[in-house]
Amino acid sequence: MVQALLAAAFPAAPEALIVPIQTSGDAITDRSLADAGGKGLFTKEIDRALLDGAIDIAVHSAKDMETWLPDGIVIGAALERENPRDALIGAASIADIPRGGKVGTASLRRQAQLLAVRPDLVPVLFRGNVDTRLRKLAAGEADATFLALAGLNRLGKAEAADAILDINEMLPAAGQGVIAIAHCTDHAGAAAAMAPLNHAPSLTCLRAERAMLDALDGTCRTPIGALAQLVEGRLSLDGMVSWPDGRDLTRVHRAGAPDDPESLGRSVGQELRAQIGPEFFAALD
């Protein structure tokens, strides 16, 4: 997608070269991210290639990026956001999952929101790409699973979704549905090339969501959801935090001016932090 957009924006330039990099997060699929080392497993090899000058820009699924980027790296652009909601596969709704059923997920965010309304269900670890998870479901390893609708749409597999969940029942991950482009802060050429690719509303929403994570010290050990939306010139942000078993699920909604998304994100994050209490973060740490 980024290669095609660069070709359209700079038709006289040589075609951008895609450099495939397999990350540790792609290779390790037998345990949760928290147990394997965190979301940095999806970015550390790519970050190193950026800092070493082996690549000029890095293309990420924004929700896989760590809350704090390495020194010298910045998100320079965001593509227009796909549908950020989660899809349920295997049941027509959360209520329709069989009592005591197994639900495949590697996401503490999804697990917490699921158990908050269906404590009878049993989460089982599902890691891997979309096809791998769908194969595990078809093989009977779980009764249902969740996938990001954005990924299904981009792969042309939207028909796999049995239900598209409302954000009031399953708040997405921060950055879900956004393709983010990172580059080194001192690479002026990369920054200039990213300018025509950037979808400003999507980047504004991403900035608010990531600022909320920053205020919460959010990691992959913390069940956190966030979704910012621009509606009629106002920026709104929904945030969620919960214990992994669904206890004390806390949600905050606030709105503010779109010209300062970080302030809105910090405000929501600080409110969530105050409501759930310091013992929550101490226990998960």
Whether 74 and 16 map to the same domain: the answer is yes
Question: For all residues of the chain together, what is the average pLDDT?
Answer: 92
In whole angstroms, give the CA distance from residue 131 to residue 226.
26
The kind and range of the H/E element at 33 are helix 33-36
pLDDT score for 28? 53
30 has pLDDT over 80: no
Task: Report helix, strand or coil for 73.
Answer: strand
The answer to whether 135 and 129 are in contact (CB under 8 A) is no
Q: What is the pLDDT of residues 217-276, one digit of tens each?
A: 765 578 999 999 999 999 999 999 999 999 999 999 999 999 999 999 999 999 999 999
Whether 12 and 74 map to the same domain: the answer is yes
Average pLDDT over residues 44-65: 94
- Residue 64 known to be catalytic: yes
In whole angstroms, give the CA distance from residue 81 to residue 202.
6
Whether 5 and 53 map to the same domain: the answer is yes
Q: What is the pLDDT of residues 67-109, one digit of tens each?
A: 999 999 999 999 999 999 999 999 999 999 999 999 999 999 9
The answer to whether 177 and 84 are in contact (CB under 8 A) is yes
CATH number of the domain within which 205 lies: 3.30.160.40
pLDDT score for 40? 56
Whether 246 and 263 map to the same domain: the answer is yes
Whether 16 and 42 map to the same domain: the answer is yes
Q: Which domain holds residue 20?
A: 1-81+176-198
Task: Report helix, strand or coil for 158.
Answer: helix
Total-model pTM: 0.91
Whether 74 and 180 map to the same domain: the answer is yes
Whether 106 and 225 map to the same domain: the answer is no
In angstroms, the Cα distances linking 153 to 87, 159, 164 are: 11, 9, 12
pLDDT band at 282 (very low <50, low <70, confident <90, very high): confident
Q: Which strands form 224-231's sheet, in the order they lie side by side?
A: 224-231, 234-241, 250-256
DSSP code for 278: H
What are 254's strand-pairing partners?
237
Residue 160: which residues within 8 A CB-CB, separation 6 or more?
87, 89, 134, 147, 152
C-alpha torsion angle, residues 77, 83, 86, 91 (rounded to 10): -160
The pair of three-digit structure tokens given for residue 7, joined into one six-digit string: 């070709």
Degrees, nearest 5: CA angle 116-226-149: 85
- Of 47, 64, 86, 238, which is the active-site residue? 64
Whether 71 and 130 map to the same domain: the answer is no
User: Rounded to the nearest 10 degrees, what angle do helices 200-216 and 261-276 cross at?
Assistant: 30
Q: What is the pLDDT of residues 107-135, one digit of tens each?
A: 999 999 999 999 999 999 998 889 999 99
Task: Report helix, strand or coil for 186.
Answer: coil
Counting the structural domains of the chain, the total is 3
